[in-house]
Structure 1
Amino acid sequence: MDSVPLWVLVVALGICLLMSAFFSSSETGMMSLNRYKLRHQAEEGNARAKRVLQLLKRPDRLLGTILLGNNFVNIAATSISTIIGIRLLGDLGVLLSTIILTVLVLIFSEVAPKTYAALHPQQIAFPASGVLSFLVKLLYPLVVLINGVVLLILRPLGVRTISSQEDGVTNEEMKSIVLSASQSISPERQEMLIGVLELEDIYVEEAMVPRNDLEGVDLNDDWEEIFKQIMQSRYGRLPAYRDNLEHVEGMLHVRDVMDGLLDKSLNKEGLIRVLRPCVFVPEGTLLRTQLVNFKQQKARSGLVVDEYGDIQGLITLEDILGYIVGDLVHEGDEKNAPEIVHREERKYEVEGGMSLRQVNRELGLKLPLDGPNTLSGLIIETLGNFPTPGTEIELEGCRVRVIDFADGVVELAEVEVLVDLEDEL
């Protein structure tokens, strides 16, 4: 090495540092990529994304190649810097070259490239994938040998293979992904995505119109009374029954008889002829499942029944979609959907019929979802008896005061939010 010019050694040292920076940034860039975005790009036909995915299928070979190359150039850089130090300063140069090289490698070959790669993984990983693919093939026998030794070392720890194994993403993890993407997803789209994911957790009884609130047509009434009920109804679909809902005979779609109602040519017999068969939905059916069932059955509503076949309420397609896009105004009635009214700082008026899941979402609370489905039900269950207007109770993260109570139901309550959940995080 004494015959090698000093400037050649300096250039070689610089090349080693650059190669070390390449391997360090490639490792961080490859491992920091968003796998879902990468897979989408590959499906769209991006050749570099496909190449990166292929490399990541065997992370043992990829990391083995990167570490082999990185260690080789770092050791070469150490040897070259030692020779330079001895030539310039003798024995003292060994110590100084070690110190200087450590600083150069740490800053320019480790921290700086890895930091940039962590912030911009795609800009590093995509261009580097071509070189890495070539090196993986070139160094394949050596890498396989090294990985075999590593596997033997890890076998006592229960490791049988070091191939890539992608874990599935749970529903809660998907929600966290959506919530963490606040900078790239608008609040409206974020809420819709969360609503779609919540269809996996919500049962029809949480979204249905309860039996006590159902409007229907009693076919045993006089025609004048039936005509009046239909014309004054807030809904476009009404269960038709005799005496009570346990004797339901079909669903009346008002649009099917609208012409006859307007020109008053319709009678009870004509109405009975246009009744549609009822769709029955078992309690405990997930909203996601029922959405698919409605599509298969080409239906838009169904009567929810318990294990004994007793009707508990009515679930409609609009009720399900309301969990995705927010409250929908039911046909012709702007005041039908339960709502939250912001009265003053941290105080809201909430209709008792609103679902606890929706209250939690709108107010950022964590009211329990394993019991009653509505705010009214939670208040009554917590008290153990029927409240009177003015009754106050403490729930998790809020104080609730009953404003209006009638017919065994809390119709309106004031909710004061006591905890700012964002400040707790």
Structure 2
Amino acid sequence: MENISTTTLSLILVALIVLSGFFSSSETGMMSLNRYRLKNLAKKGNKGALLTQKLLARPDRLIGLILIGNNFVNILAASIATVICVRIWGDLGIAIATLGLTIVILIFAEVTPKTLAALHPEKIAYPASFILTPLYKVCFIFVWGLNAVTNGLLKLVGVNVEHGQNDNLNSDELKIIVSDAGALIPKRHQNMLLSVLDLEKVTVEDIMIPRNEVTGVDLELPIDEVISQMRNAVHTRLPVYRDEIDNVEGFLHSRQIIKLLAYDDEDLTKELILEAITPVYFIPEGTPLNTQLLNFQRKKLRIGLVVDEYGDILGLATLEDILEEIVGEFTTDFADTSKDIQKEKDGSIIIDGSATIRDINRSLDWTLPTDGPKTLNGLILEYIEAIPQAGTGMRLSGYPMEILQVKSNMIKSVRVWPELHADQTLDIA
């Protein structure tokens, strides 16, 4: 360096600092990339994304390449800075070069470029891949040697760099990605995606119609009453049973009901009804909704009866009930149309005791606990641990409630004042 002028050395020093900033920003940019956006761009044929994806396939080699380049230019820059400062200040120049170059590298080659790369990783990483790719090929032998030593040291402590990269996401991580999508995904679509991911946590008991609310055709009744039940049916499919739902014979579709009602009343027999029914499909209790949705699809069915471990029927579940867990209620305002939830003029809400907790939460945007009883009646009884009397007041999950009617050891109706909601769990008055 004795024959090189100070001006030339200064220009070389500036170039080395720029190179150091390039390596620093490349490292941060590469490591800060959204891997799923990178995969998407690579599938679309983006050249920068394709090169970057290849480099990131072995992050140990990429880091080795960047550090080799960064350390080389930093050491060379330190040597040149020392020569320049010694020429100007003599022996004092060594200390000045050390302090001055440390500050310059921190500001212009570390903090500033790394911050920029962290904020805009794609703008840094993709262009850098066009330089790092050929540089990797030139320096392959040095990178390979460095990685051989470092990977050997890591294996001594039980770390295998070959299997360290894992881009798989679990359902909770997917939920965070969907929730953080913001305006990129409409709010309604976000809710639907989150509902799909939650299906595995919800069982058929959470969405079924309880057995005491199941309506059907009782063949033990006189034929004229059976005909009346079919004429007054409001559902597409009706269970046909004898005396009680546990003695179910099958399901009767509305299309078959129309054909049967075309007969004269005196010609319609119970035998004809039995010939028109379809077999019963039973669903074991505890079946997750995602599993049951696939079962319905596989068996080409839309309805089934939920049974417990003893074979007793607990309720009825339909494909529509599962779909409503994903897309929401098919009515415009469930709270206004549901017979179980009625808004009063004074601001209070009267809720049927048999209303399910999930329907209440979804309809009124509440947060009643869903990990225990399935209905409001069951939730209140669990907390009180006794059969209450009409007029009993309480605060359940922060909502002031008054029990209006109790019949047959069941809470039939409850009045709630949502505007007085407080952030409490339970305070029985």
TM-score for the superposition, normalised by structure 2: 0.86
User: Following TM superposition, by how much is the alpha carbon of 1:135 offset from its aligned partner in structure 2, in angstroms?
Assistant: 2.5
Amino acid at match of 2:310: Y
> Is contact 1:278-1:303 (8 Å) kept?
yes
Instruction: Report the AA paired with residue 422 of structure 2.
Output: L
In 2, Cα distance between equivalents of 1:57 and 1:383: 59
Paired residue for 2:427? none
Structure 1 residue 28, shift from structure 2 partner: 1.2
Cα separation, 1, equivalents of 2:70 and 2:350: 64
Aligned-pair distance for 1:367?
A: 4.8
User: Cα deviations across residues 21-58 of structure 1 (Å, max 9, x unaligned)?
Assistant: 21111111111112222223333343433332222221
- What's 2:44 paired with? 44
Give aligned-pair identity as a percent: 43
Instruction: Give 1:309's aligned residue.
Output: 311
Query: How many angstroms apart in 2 are the aligned matches of 1:406 and 1:387?
Result: 8
**Structure 1 range deviating more: 260-269 or 226-235:** 260-269
Q: Which amino acid aligns with 1:308?
A: Y
- Aligned residue for 2:145? 145
Instruction: Give 1:149 deviation, angstroms.
Output: 2.1
User: In structure 2, the residue corresponding to 1:307 is in which secondary structure?
Assistant: coil
What's the C-alpha RMSD, in Å, of the aligned pairs?
3.1
How far off its partner does 1:359 sit?
5.2
Residues 1:337 and 1:85: Cα distance change in structure 2 (over 3 Å)? farther
Paired position in structure 2 for 1:423 = none
Task: Please give the residue correspondences for 1:258-273 in structure 2 after superposition, counting only pairs within 5 Å.
Answer: 258=258, 261=261, 267-268=268-269, 269-273=271-275
TM-aligned CA distance change 1:273 to 1:162, over 3 Å: closer
Cα distance, 1:394 vs structure 2: 4.5
Structure 1 residues 31 and 417: CA distance shift in structure 2, 3 A: farther
Deviation for aligned residue 1:167: 5.6
Query: Which piece of structure 1 moves more, 113-122 or 194-203?
Result: 113-122
What residue is the counterpart of 1:117 in the other structure?
117
After the TM superposition, which residues 321-332 of structure 1 pair with which residues of structure 2 at under 5 Å, given as runs?
321-329=323-331
Give how far 1:201 is off: 0.9
Q: Distance in 2 between matches of 1:121 and 1:344?
A: 56
Q: Following the alignment from structure 1 to structure 2, what is the Cα–Cα distance between the partners of residues 365 and 22?
A: 52
Q: Relative to 1, partners in 2 of residues 1:56 and 1:206: Cα closer, same or farther, differing over 3 Å?
A: same
- Structure 2 Cα separation of the partners of residues 343 and 102 of structure 1: 73
276-285 vs 135-144, greater mean Cα deviation: 135-144
The answer to whether residue 423 in structure 2 is matched with residue 419 in structure 1 is yes
Q: What amino acid does structure 2 have at the position aligned with 1:177?
A: I
Whether the 8 Å contact between 1:302 and 1:315 is mirrored in structure 2 is yes
Per the alignment, residue 186 of structure 1 pairs with: 186
**5+ residue gaps, structure 2:** 425-429
- Spell out, residue by residue over 1:98-133, the C-alpha distance to the aligned partner (whole angstroms, 9 max, x if none): 333222222222122211211221222222222222
Distance 1:5 1:230, change over 3 A: farther
Deviation for aligned residue 1:365: 6.5
- In structure 2, do the counterparts of structure 1 residues 100 and 62 end up closer, same or farther at CA, with 3 Å as the change threshold? same
Distance 1:175 1:338, change over 3 A: farther
Instruction: Name the structure 2 match of 1:159.
Output: 159
Q: Is the 8 A contact 1:58 1:164 kept in 2?
A: no
Superposed counterparts of 1:219-238, under 5 Å: 219-238=219-238
- My pick for the range that moved more, 120-129 or 288-297, is 120-129
